[in-house]
Amino acid sequence: MKKWYWLIGGSLVCAGLVIGVVFWKFQKEINKDDPEYIVQFMKENKGNKNVSVAIQYNRQSWVEQNTKEQLPLASTVKIIVAIAYAQQAAGGHINPQQQVRLGELEKFYIPKTDGGAHEAWLAQLNLNGEESVPLSEVANGMITYSSNANTEYLMHILGLQYINEVLTQLDLKDHEPLYPIVSALYIPTQLMDGNSRTKKETLTALKDMDMTEYRERTLAIHENWVEHPLTKEDKAKALKMLNMDIQKVWSDRLIRASANDYISILEKMNSKNYFSEDVHKYLDPVMEQLMQNPKNQEWLSHAGQKGGSTAFVLTLAAYAEDKEGNQTEIVFFANDLNTMEQMKLSNSMNSFQLKFLTDEKFRMRLKTELFE
């Protein structure tokens, strides 16, 4: 680590230690796991339409903030793909045991764009030289590890038309149609290469593009990759285009929905009586992988969740039923976050959920202070 020197009173003073202490304090602050930070954040953002929260306990509304606002879902949208997967598996349209070559997933993978999710999923598979996995494992990786490549592959296999019909089936009022979000990352490269634009001009063209054209381009890119995947060089070139300004446009254009939509979805999954038993046979193993932990099995009957994030977004949709039959649904959507907010929310969300589920005094205080 480089040291910085300040010239003070005519003498050179090494500031390396000072900066090190400041950095340590900063790291300690953003890594602090504090459920009260979530509570305070919700209080301070009651009127902020970029923050939407819906919490239910035993079907009673506990917290409602801006629940009709459409906000970017990030990876939380993968719940819809999981439902489509389970329905097609239950209907015999796909075979969850069908082997999928890892090379097919690579077609939809751009390294360093998913926070290491795809690589983390691959690392835990213990493949021992195998080059394929069951389709069910692809779905597992989409939810537990949040692999974007797996998601886009499933969009290809299931069909986007069918996936978007799920939105109608579930009677979701504010949900935008799904499109391939990895393919969207290639639009800036396409714009620049096709018209010899500068990066600045490319950013302007991207911002000016309407959503109809944006979705059409992502679909065309997605379909082209199936037969003509990017080379390593192509992927490296695409990655270089993704500065923070470009990422912000990509993040802002992610699929949107309301907290009301996702509370409705969570209720259906949590009740275990909306979807058929055959659908739950395939849906629960994908959505409820945290129940593999023996400690969770001690006090929960079932539970599932999916979160999502970009540099500017944090989202969560979670549901649970404890052994006493108490049911909880939590939806938290936040957009236009700064780096500190994004990291602190992310680091505190798990403990906030746990405290809500297990601490009656905390639940009651939350309702008193936040319910409107």
Confidence of residue 129 (pLDDT cuts 50, 70, 90): confident
Q: Model's pTM, two decimal places?
A: 0.91
Higher pLDDT, 239 or 369: 239
Residue 203 has pLDDT above 50, yes or no: yes
Residue 18 has pLDDT above 60, yes or no: no
Q: Which of 357, 353, 262, 351 is nearest to 300 (CA)?
A: 357
241 shares a domain with 300: no
Q: Which domain holds residue 340?
A: 34-73+257-370
pLDDT given at position 16:
47
Tokens of 371: 């319910």
Helices 211-227 and 187-195 pack at an angle, to 10 degrees, of 90
Confidence of residue 7 (pLDDT cuts 50, 70, 90): very low
| 210-234 tens-digit pLDDT | 999 999 999 999 999 999 999 999 9
Of 195, 230, 255, the position where a domain reaches its end is 255
pLDDT given at position 361:
96
> Can you say whether the dihedral through the CA atoms of 46, 47, 50, 53 is positive or negative?
positive
90 shares a domain with 69: no
Among the residue ranges 96-100, 107-111, 192-196, 310-314, the one predicted with the least confidence is: 192-196
CA distance 70 to 58: 25
Of 208, 233, 255, the position where a domain reaches its end is 255
161 shares a domain with 309: no
352 shares a domain with 333: yes
Q: How many helices (H) and strands (E) does the chain have?
A: 18, 11
pLDDT given at position 86:
98
The residues, any chain, with a CB within 8 Å of residue 296's CB and separated by 6 or more, are: 290, 303
CA distance 29 to 340: 9
Tokens of 233: 């060089």
200 shares a domain with 86: yes
Residue 268 has pLDDT above 70, yes or no: yes
119 shares a domain with 239: yes
Q: How many CB atoms lie within 10 A of CB 128?
A: 5
- Number of domains the chain contains: 3
Give the chain's length: 372
Higher pLDDT, 4 or 255: 255
CA distance 122 to 144: 12
190 shares a domain with 93: yes
Higher pLDDT, 273 or 22: 273
pLDDT given at position 196:
80
Q: Are 274 and 299 in contact (CB under 8 A)?
A: no
Residue 352 has pLDDT above 60, yes or no: yes
Q: From the centroid of its chain, how far is CA 365?
A: 29
168 shares a domain with 93: yes
189 shares a domain with 114: yes
- Mean per-residue pLDDT for 74-83? 98
Confidence of residue 28 (pLDDT cuts 50, 70, 90): low
156: amino acid identity, one letter: H
| 153-164 tens-digit pLDDT | 999 999 999 999
Beta strands, E only, the chain: 5-8, 11-14, 51-57, 60-65, 71-72, 99-101, 132-134, 256-257, 300-309, 314-322, 327-334
Cα–Cα distances (Å) from 270 to 58, 63, 302, in that order, read 11, 18, 8
Concatenated DSSP letters of 65-87: ESTT--EE-GGGGHHHHHHHHHH
Tokens of 308: 């999502």
Residue 49 has pLDDT above 60, yes or no: yes
Mean pLDDT of the chain: 91
Residue 99 has pLDDT above 70, yes or no: yes
232 shares a domain with 268: no
| 228-237 tens-digit pLDDT | 999 999 999 9
- Mean per-residue pLDDT for 23-52? 82
Name the region of 178 (left: φ>0; alpha: ψ -120 to 50; beta: rest).
Answer: beta
pLDDT given at position 106:
97
CA distance 191 to 197: 7
- Mean per-residue pLDDT for 11-20? 44
For residue 180, the surrounding DSSP H or E stretch is: none
Q: Which of 123, 124, 153 is nearest to 138 (CA)?
A: 153
Tokens of 30: 């953003």
238 shares a domain with 218: yes
pLDDT given at position 270:
98
Helices 244-252 and 199-208 pack at an angle, to 10 degrees, of 10
Confidence of residue 31 (pLDDT cuts 50, 70, 90): low
- Mean per-residue pLDDT for 245-269? 98
Q: What are phi and psi of 223, to 5 degrees?
A: -65, -35
Confidence of residue 195 (pLDDT cuts 50, 70, 90): confident
Higher pLDDT, 100 or 192: 100
For residue 255, the surrounding DSSP H or E stretch is: none
Of 255, 272, 287, the position where a domain reaches its end is 255
Residue % of the chain over a pLDDT of 70 = 91
232 shares a domain with 263: no
